[in-house]
């Protein structure tokens, strides 16, 4: 039987155009240009590379408003086999807890899964909670911050960059992996594939289909409440200048601030 890979993809506001609703303190997603979270493009590429190697089925899931359809089409055009947009007004205003719960419930409803791949974090809220949260809700193992993902005979092999080397982790499926931003070079969508993707279409799942009670999801299921937000004025820096022909002064200062160490220490 083919290996089933699920990729979690979030549509995020273009980081240049973030608008906050002054009343709800939530992001106003309808006022911004939306793009696919870049680390999730790396997650999809990791899945497609495994598909190229062993012929797996790749399903993309996203929880978000209807405008996330562009991300669904984009993922299909890059090579995903199936795309599910989990979208319902009940899911709106979710913090990371119900987001993870809703995605985990969706994955359970899909049924068979061997590998779940997510990005390391989103570029808008950037908590990095959702991937590990889904693994916890599903009670499966996880490999976080992987720079490379591979599959071999029922095992996922993840490489993790550490300060002093690379850690290689081999875990039997099912397993959830979160991948680093820029860990690979995502393939492009061709016009031909885009037309096919639009023809193929994607599924939209509402709360009944996901099968969670309304009070567990969205804003009602969210323990986090944003009370207040304020803009922070950037402090002007003193901007000390050094004479580059006399680096001794700089080295001495860095040594005193314990930024540099002498070899014998």
Ligand X SMILES: Cc1cc2nc3c(=O)[nH]c(=O)nc-3n(C[C@H](O)[C@H](O)[C@H](O)COP(=O)(O)OP(=O)(O)OC[C@H]3O[C@@H](n4cnc5c(N)ncnc54)[C@H](O)[C@@H]3O)c2cc1C
143-174 burial string, b = 16+ CB within 10 Å, else e?
Answer: bbbbbbbbbeeeebbbbbeeeeeeeebebebb
First to last CA, the chain: 58
Tokens of 213: 């009670």
The nearest distance, CB 245 to ligand X, in angstroms, is: 46
The nearest distance, CB 141 to ligand X, in angstroms, is: 17
The nearest distance, CB 102 to ligand X, in angstroms, is: 8
Phi, psi of 128 (to 5 degrees): 70, 15
Place of tokens 């911050």: 145
The nearest distance, CB 97 to ligand X, in angstroms, is: 8
Q: Is residue 177 classed exposed, middle or buried when 0-12, 13-18 and 19+ CB atoms within 10 A define those classes? A: buried
Which residues are near ligand X by CB under 6 A?
Answer: 8-10, 26, 37, 39-40, 43, 62-64, 93-96, 99, 103, 118-119, 121-122, 124-131, 222, 224-226
**Complex with ligand X: residue 116 or 197, whichever CB lies closer:** 116
**Complex with ligand X: residue 26 or 190, whichever CB lies closer:** 26
The nearest distance, CB 218 to ligand X, in angstroms, is: 8
**Complex with ligand X: residue 10 or 193, whichever CB lies closer:** 10
**Complex with ligand X: residue 182 or 224, whichever CB lies closer:** 224
User: Is the CB of residue 7 less than 8 Å from the CB of residue 58?
Assistant: yes
**Complex with ligand X: residue 42 or 173, whichever CB lies closer:** 42
User: Is the CB of residue 216 less than 8 Å from the CB of residue 101?
Assistant: yes
The nearest distance, CB 227 to ligand X, in angstroms, is: 10
> In sequence order, what are the beta bridge partners of 176?
116, 142
User: Is the CB of residue 204 less than 8 Å from the CB of residue 91?
Assistant: no
**Complex with ligand X: residue 3 or 75, whichever CB lies closer:** 75
Closest residue to ligand X in the complex (CB) = 119
């Amino acid at each position: 039987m083919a290996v089933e890979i699920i990729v979690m993809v979030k549509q995020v506001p273009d980081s240049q155009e973030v608008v906050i609703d002054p009343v709800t303190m939530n992001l106003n997603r309808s006022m911004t240009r939306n793009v696919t979270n870049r680390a999730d493009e790396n997650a999809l590429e990791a899945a497609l590379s495994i598909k190229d190697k062993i012929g797996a089925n790749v399903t993309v899931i996203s929880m978000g408003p209807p405008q996330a359809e562009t991300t669904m089409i984009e993922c299909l055009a890059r090579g995903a086999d199936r795309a599910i947009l989990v979208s319902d007004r009940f899911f709106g205003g979710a913090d990371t807890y119900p987001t993870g719960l809703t995605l985990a419930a969706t994955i359970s409803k899909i049924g068979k899964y061997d590998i779940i791949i997510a990005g390391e974090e989103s570029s808008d809220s950037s908590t990095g909670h959702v991937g590990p949260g889904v693994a916890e809700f599903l009670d499966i193992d996880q490999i976080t911050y992987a720079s490379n993902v591979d599959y071999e005979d029922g095992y996922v092999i993840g490489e993790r960059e550490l300060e002093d080397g690379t850690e290689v982790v081999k875990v039997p499926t099912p397993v959830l992996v979160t991948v680093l931003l820029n860990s690979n070079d995502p393939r492009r969508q061709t016009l031909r594939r885009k037309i096919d993707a639009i023809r193929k279409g994607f599924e939209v799942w509402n709360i009944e289909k996901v099968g969670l009670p309304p009070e567990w999801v969205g804003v009602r299921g969210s323990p986090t409440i944003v009370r207040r937000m304020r803009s922070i004025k950037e402090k002007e820096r003193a901007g000390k200048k050094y004479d580059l022909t006399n680096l001794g002064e700089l080295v001495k200062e860095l040594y005193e601030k314990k930024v540099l160490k002498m070899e014998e220490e």
